[in-house]
A = this chain, B = another copy of it.
Amino acid sequence: MGALITSAMEGYGMEVRMEETVTGFETDGGQVTAVVTDQATIPTDLVILGLGVAPNTTLAAQAGIPLGATGAIAVDQRLRTGVEGVWAGGDCVEKFHRVSRRHVRLPLGTHANKEGRTAGINIGGGYATFPGVLGTAVTKICHVEVGRTGLGVAEAHAAGFDPVTAVVDSTTRAGYYPGAKPIRTKLIAERGTGRLLGAQIVGEEGAAKRIDVLSVALWHETPVEELLNIDLSYAPPFSPLWDPVLIAARKAWQAVENDRSHTEP
């Protein structure tokens, strides 16, 4: 999936350098002039750093509010911290991941907003719980759309699952319909049970938001064998007759079945 993105970026004249560590910067009079890596010195006018996000929990820690093992603030399902009368939500708190069943740091505005609503209802005397996250996210890199939900293969292994995968290339509309764009769908399922563990989509206009269909399936712990029969919509301007999500589910089911027939003599 990543190769599709790299290739699109290179198509725009960008150079993508991987497995190379930034060790420092050269400057001239307070102005950056080059990025120094363990392999090269690259002249530059501008540096943009994307280093991930860490929760700022200094104030919470000083106030005696317990942090979780991830380093973010620990909250219960009602967004209460360990200190009476103090609620927390947003990028500073741990999220419960519904697939790995572990607490994670996952800074997404969608989660933060929902947590704000939940905390607000509870602060106002109501009752609401926040049911956890799947890590569903979409982004756009030039004309390439990217979506993901749940666990990737490495994350599935780390969470103790034994994953099988299926990758399907299809189109966002019926192949003959004007404006049909490529869409690649990858499903990650649990070996044996076929339970959906995660999904990724890379494609063009109209591709990425379909990840939400897989998010709802994942939310309900749907096996790929069940998913392949779910009643998704079809008309030529919107998808091939077998929606890419369903084709991917069928291929994932085949992978699970083939595997089963080889291991159960």
A-side interface residues toward B, CB under 8 Å?
98, 108-111, 113-114, 118, 130-131, 133-140, 145, 147, 149, 206, 208-213, 215-217, 219-220, 222, 226, 229-235, 237-239, 241-243, 245
- Give the residues in chain B near A147, CB-CB below 8 Å: 233
A231→B135 contact, CB < 8 A = yes
CB distance from A97 to the nearest CB of B (A): 10
A212→B210 contact, CB < 8 A = yes
For A138, give its contact among B114, B206, B238, B242 (CB under 8 Å).
Answer: B238
Measured CA separation A241–B114 after assembly (Å): 10
- Given A109-B241, A110-B241: A209 in contact with B231 (beta carbons within 8 A): no
A235→B139 contact, CB < 8 A = yes
Measured CA separation A230–B220 after assembly (Å): 10
A219→B230 contact, CB < 8 A = yes
- Given A113-B241, A241-B110: A138 in contact with B212 (beta carbons within 8 A): no
Measured CA separation A138–B241 after assembly (Å): 12
B232→A110 contact, CB < 8 A = yes
- Give the residues in chain B near A243, CB-CB below 8 Å: 212
A232→B113 contact, CB < 8 A = no
CB distance from A89 to the nearest CB of B (A): 13
- Give the residues in chain B near A242, CB-CB below 8 Å: 113
For A233, give its contact among B130, B137, B217 (CB under 8 Å).
Answer: B137
- Give the residues in chain B near A245, CB-CB below 8 Å: 212
Measured CA separation A9–B134 after assembly (Å): 41
For the complex with contacts A209-B210, A216-B216, 16 further pairs of A-B residues with Cβ separation under 8 Å are A98-B231, A109-B234, A110-B241, A118-B229, A138-B233, A145-B237, A145-B238, A147-B233, A208-B233, A212-B232, A213-B216, A215-B233, A216-B217, A216-B222, A216-B232, A220-B220
CB distance from A36 to the nearest CB of B (A): 32
Measured CA separation A139–B211 after assembly (Å): 21
- Give the residues in chain B near A108, CB-CB below 8 Å: 234
B138→A229 contact, CB < 8 A = no
- Give the residues in chain B near A232, CB-CB below 8 Å: 110, 136, 212, 215-216
CB distance from A236 to the nearest CB of B (A): 9
CB distance from A74 to the nearest CB of B (A): 20
